[in-house]
């Protein structure tokens, strides 16, 4: 397996993202577009970036100063745990309140209140597990 959030890993994540209708098709229905950074809490910048346009991952790779819509951080161990067993809504809420997942950019609260976004966000963890 490639290093978590490395360019190769991010490209494979984008491929898997686009194959998952509960993620890409669901987000296309709401014209979702974002630049999403992924990384670790102690790093100054995210490690990888995924650009999503109309629900589909269009670009993936290393963070290179892009303006982010979302910047999501967790420890490597926590990411790996979620890839093996994706969290549900309750688990994700608990992870947020206990600081196991951090959103340096992005409105976590509004995302969770919108089931059209929350469901696909949770699905993204199982898609990560396919990489």
Domain chopping of the chain, boundaries: 7-128
Where residue 2 falls among pLDDT bands split at 50, 70, 90? low
Evaluate whether 112 touches 89 at the Cβ level (below 8 Å): yes
| Cβ pair 60, 52 in contact under 8 A | no
- Helices in the chain by DSSP H: which ranges? 7-19, 26-28, 76-84, 89-97, 108-113, 115-128
In the numeric block, the tokens 């340096």 are attached to: 104
* pTM score: 0.92
Distance CA 59, CA 78 (A): 25
Which residues, at least 6 apart from 90, have a Cβ–Cβ distance to it below 8 Å?
none
Query: How far is it, in rounded angstroms, from Cα 97 to Cα 10?
Result: 27
Percentage of residues in the chain having pLDDT higher than 70: 98
- pLDDT number for residue 92: 83
60-93 pLDDT per residue, tens: 999 999 999 999 999 999 999 999 998 888 888 8
* CATH superfamily, with its number, for domain 7-128: SCP2 sterol-binding domain (3.30.1050.10)
Q: Number of helices (H) and strands (E), helices first, in the chain?
A: 6, 5
Phi, psi angle pair for 97, to nearest 5°: -70, -25
Question: Does the pLDDT value for residue 1 go beyond 60?
Answer: no
49 token code pair:
């970036």
Within 10 A of 99 (CB to CB), how many other CB atoms are there? 10
Bridge partners, 35 (sequence order): 51
Spatial CB neighbours of 8, under 8 Å, sequence gap ≥ 6: 2
């Amino acid at each position: 397996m490639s290093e978590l959030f490395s360019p190769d890993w991010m490209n494979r994540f984008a491929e898997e993202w686009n194959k998952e209708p509960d993620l890409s098709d669901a987000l296309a229905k709401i014209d979702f577009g974002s630049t999403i950074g992924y990384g670790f809490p102690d790093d100054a910048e995210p490690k990888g970036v995924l650009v999503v346009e109309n629900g589909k991952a269009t670009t993936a790779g290393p963070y290179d100063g892009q303006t982010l819509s979302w910047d999501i951080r967790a420890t490597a161990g926590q990411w790996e745990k979620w890839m093996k067993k994706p969290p549900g809504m309750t688990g994700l809420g608990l992870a947020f309140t206990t600081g196991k997942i951090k959103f340096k950019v992005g409105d976590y609260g509004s995302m969770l209140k919108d089931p059209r976004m929350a469901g696909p966000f949770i699905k993204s963890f199982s898609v990560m597990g396919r990489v």
